[in-house]
Amino acid sequence: MSEWKEYTGSDEQLIEMRNAVNGHIFRDNLELESSSVLYYREHEYVPKTITHYLICDRHPYADMIKRWADTGQPVWVRVGAMMREDQFIMYRTYRTTTPDWNIPNAEYSFTEFKD
């Protein structure tokens, strides 16, 4: 999960921002956040007012979440639970129009799961 980090200007931080595949955003000394993702590759400087930065980690279901948000299409959710250490996994599957996209080990689909 993405977290705000205090910006010290170290070489390691600059490398981390430069290598961030999905970019990063800044927070300045007025607690204002940049309004869009800033890609370090496009900016050869870091503003002097920066106090914190956040590396953007794309959610694994980002495309699906966008489609759901744009359409309201129902989503199938399958959550697995291990009954015992050496026994089978039991699944709970349900259809919803208000999915929780952060259930650990859950699977999501726009079509019903086929076992």
pLDDT in tens, the chain (115 residues): 688 999 898 889 888 888 888 888 888 777 656 544 444 444 555 667 788 888 988 889 999 999 999 999 999 999 987 666 666 677 889 999 999 999 988 999 999 998 7
* Other CB atoms within 10 A of residue 26 CB: 21
Record the pTM: 0.61
> In the numeric block, which tokens belong to residue 5?
């980090």
Show me where the domains of the chain are located: 5-55, 62-109
Give the SS3 label for residue 12. Answer: helix
Taken as a whole, the chain contains a residue count of 115
> What is the pLDDT, as a whole number, of residue 18?
82
> In the numeric block, which tokens belong to residue 11?
């070489």
